[in-house]
């Protein structure tokens, strides 16, 4: 007796109409081809997605591809734009030239006018407008022993003093029917201008003159002008001399004055001397 499962299967399929064998085989072959095509298409799509992602990633790192040039004519190389490049912003600076500054530009530790040239500008010297009426001006080196350094030759004992670090100097003289004035401005290297002022003080306080009637002295120290300002004088063998010495930064101005100039009169000249020196130094 057949098993119960086979009996039930026979009963369920007893009245079914079966397709011919050839038709069943054709359907199987068709289904196999469709399955293979679907698998192939799925593979193509997957490869395309991977390639697209790689191109996008590479584009983010390396920028857009180089454009293809036309085949005709002489091609002009076109640079590949950088992914990190930024379009230039429009300039907000006016094209109208700025007005020149009212005073020379200054850079710390250097001469004024933005230059490393140690030359002393004419504007750093006394001008006729700083002096009483009747003076005329002559520029250039002045011969003779008019400078305060000449005092040292009359000292049988004097402190050791050497004016070191001179970079440049300029001299100008003023004359009137009754008076004369000579100014010399020296530019020193760093720190030597202040040392020069100390040397002037030491010379005029420590000089031991040869004759009993001769003497040197600091007549005033601190005239309220520049970084330092003093009036020194000598009386050598009956010849009296006075010098105003003013320091402004790395510049030292020495002015030979009238033989009877008092500290009060020296203060009158010390202020314009210091103000003029500001045109040649960056410390004002």
Per-residue pLDDT of 205-227, as tens digits, reads 999 887 777 899 999 998 999 99
d(CA 203, CA 276): 26
Give the model's pLDDT for residue 84. Answer: 40
Give the model's pLDDT for residue 103. Answer: 35
d(CA 177, CA 65): 87
Give the model's pLDDT for residue 4. Answer: 64
**What's the mean pLDDT when you consider all of the chain?**
73
Q: Which residue has the higher pLDDT, 154 or 15?
A: 154
Give the model's pLDDT for residue 68. Answer: 44
**Quick check: 254 pLDDT over 60?**
yes
Sign of CA dihedral 8, 12, 14, 20: negative
Are the beta carbons of 113 and 281 closer than 8 angstroms?
Answer: no
pLDDT band at 19 (very low <50, low <70, confident <90, very high): low
**Quick check: 266 pLDDT over 70?**
yes
Give the model's pLDDT for residue 65. Answer: 47
pLDDT band at 40 (very low <50, low <70, confident <90, very high): low
Convert the pLDDT of each residue in 147-196 to its tens digit: 888 888 888 887 776 778 999 999 999 999 888 899 999 999 988 999 99
Strand ranges in the chain using DSSP code E only, listed in sequence order = 136-139, 155-157, 166-175, 180-188, 208-209, 215-221, 228-236, 239-248, 251-257
Mean pLDDT of 63-79: 45
HEC assignment per residue over 64-117 = CCCCCCCCCCCCCCCCCCCCCCCCCCCCCCCCCCCCCCCCCCCCCCCCCCCCCC
């Amino acid at each position: 007796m057949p098993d119960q499962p086979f009996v039930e299967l026979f009963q369920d399929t007893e009245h079914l109409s079966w397709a011919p064998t050839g038709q069943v085989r054709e359907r199987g072959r068709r289904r196999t081809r469709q399955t293979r095509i679907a698998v192939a298409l799925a593979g193509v799509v997957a490869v395309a997605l991977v390639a697209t992602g790689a191109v996008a990633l590479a584009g983010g790192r390396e920028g857009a591809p180089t454009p293809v040039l036309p085949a005709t004519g002489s091609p002009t190389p076109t640079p590949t734009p950088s992914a990190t490049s930024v379009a230039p912003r429009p300039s907000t600076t006016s094209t109208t030239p700025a007005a020149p500054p009212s005073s020379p530009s200054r850079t710390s530790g250097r001469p004024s006018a933005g230059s490393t040239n140690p030359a002393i500008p004419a504007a750093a010297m006394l001008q006729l407008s700083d002096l009483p009426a009747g003076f005329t001006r002559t520029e250039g080196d002045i011969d003779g022993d008019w400078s305060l350094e000449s005092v040292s030759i009359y000292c049988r004992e004097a402190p050791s003093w050497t004016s070191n670090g001179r970079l440049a100097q300029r001299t100008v003289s003023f004359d009137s029917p009754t008076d004369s004035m000579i100014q010399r401005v020296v530019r020193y290297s760093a720190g030597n201008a202040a040392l020069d002022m100390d040397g002037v003080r030491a010379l005029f306080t420590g000089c031991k003159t040869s004759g009993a009637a001769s003497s040197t002295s600091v007549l005033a120290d601190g005239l309220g002008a520049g970084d330092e300002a003093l009036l020194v004088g000598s009386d050598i063998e009956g010849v009296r001399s006075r010098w105003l010495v003013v320091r402004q930064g790395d510049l030292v101005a020495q002015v030979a004055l009238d033989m009877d100039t008092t500290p009060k009169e020296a203060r009158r000249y010390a202020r314009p001397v210091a103000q003029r020196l500001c045109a040649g130094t960056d410390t004002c």
